[in-house]
Amino acid sequence: MSTLPRIVGFSERSDIEPEEFAPFVFLGGCNLSCPYCIDHSFVLKPDEIDVDLIDTLVEYLEKKQPEWVTITGGEPTCTDREQLIALFELIREHGAKVNLLTNGIKYVTIKKVIHLVSHACLDLKSASPLDYGTITDVVTVFDQVIRSKRIMQQEARNREDFSYEVTTTLYPPFIGDAGDVYDFKQVMWEEEKWVLQQFKADKSMLNQNCSYVVPYTEEDLEDILEAAREFVDDVSLKNV
């Protein structure tokens, strides 16, 4: 087995992620099936993507010497742990920092690799274990995500060169109205950075019924933001 994972996608920019974290490296496979997922070719059939863009990454690292490389997917932690570590080490050997986008389910892997990561984005889908139950068969998934969040919080306390943020896609069936945002109070901590991402219906989503889900209006978003700011200091909106 190769010591490096197969890279199924590579992009110098993203429509929704901050430019400072470019480029973006995509690894195949995922342990969730979020209805609004737009990366489903990486999620459902990564083996059918007949590419390995590791040379593209190395060439980019050598020529452009980026400050950051973002590892996303799919879900990066579904990759063999040793291969993931080898990838992170390769990036760091070229002088770049690793930004990890994760759904947080594989908290053991996160614990094992976090010393190589400089920034992480934990995707918290919902404040309800029941919602998680609709996108995976594993009943303990919600607790696993919260464990990852604690690992990141601890790492940020121990290391000045590590930071993290929590991102939540404002998918109305998972979030409810502004009053329901208070459910997140049980799992979000005041000092965390929380990025709320507007849901935009799209026919290419994993569940095509998502194209009928009505996104929040600007007024709804303001109400959600106001409610979230009552218990988390640093909350922002993205993809609006």
Q: List residues near ligand SF4 by CB under 6 A.
A: 30, 32-34, 37, 39, 43, 73-75, 103
Q: Which is nearer to ligand SF4, 53 or 61 (CB)?
A: 53
CA separation for the pair 110, 201 (Å, rounded) = 31
Alpha carbon distances (Å) from 79 to 29, 83, 84, 102: 8, 7, 6, 12
Alpha helical stretches, state H, 71-179: 81-93, 107-113, 129-133, 141-158, 172-175
Q: 100-114 as b/e, with b when 16 or more CB fall inside 10 Å?
A: bbbbbbbbebbbebb
The set of long-range contacts for 174-181, using a CB threshold of 8 Å and a minimum separation of 24, is 174/125, 174/126, 174/128, 174/131, 175/126, 175/224, 177/220, 177/223, 178/220, 178/223, 178/224, 178/226, 178/227, 179/227, 181/224, 181/227, 181/228
SS3 26: strand
Compute the least distance from the CB of residue 31 to ligand SF4, in Å: 7
Kindly tell me which of 46 and 61 has the beta carbon lying closer to ligand SF4.
46
Q: Toward ligand SF4, which CB reaches closer, 30 or 69?
A: 30
CB of 15 to ligand SF4, least distance (A): 14
Closest to ligand SF4 by CB, 61 or 124: 124
What are 121's two structure tokens?
Answer: 């984005």
- Least distance between ligand SF4 and beta carbon 38 (Å): 7
Write down the least CB distance from residue 226 to ligand SF4, Å. 26
**Closer to ligand SF4 at the Cβ: 76 or 227?**
76
Instruction: Give least dist CB 197 to ligand SF4, A.
Output: 11
Closest CB to ligand SF4 among residues 43, 114: 43
Rounded least distance, CB 94 to ligand SF4, Å: 26
